[in-house]
Structure 1
């Protein structure tokens, strides 16, 4: 990992720390180009497909995760 990579991560901190969750797990599957944001250890029981192939994962009424397809093609830095 290069210093520039770390600086990119640092730019995301204000957005990540404003998330209304106590815990967050982030996984990126480079081969599939899918970014997973998980907010709960509870598995989802429903999925809503939003705009631009973003999946919102729910356990009851609670948002427990977001899946972003084609993640590397989103915002270019």
Structure 2
């Protein structure tokens, strides 16, 4: 299994390039996706199994110039 994390510079997946020609394989930049390699469907009654994923990201916190720690923004009064 290969995980692609939505990079602006990620290359096309080599497994997909083997099936498509390299000039027809998209790099799918800015898109997170997973490529399964050697998934044996015989083990799953020849049916593609259902997969569930949860994608999260850390929030971007921008602090004013005079604050170096988040705790300094919280009022203690």
What TM-score does the superposition give when structure 1 sets the normalisation length?
0.23
Who wins on radius of gyration, i.e. which is larger? 2
Greater relative contact order structure (CA < 8 Å, 6+ sep): 2
Question: TM (normalized to structure 2)?
Answer: 0.23
Of Structure 1 and Structure 2, the greater strand share is in 1
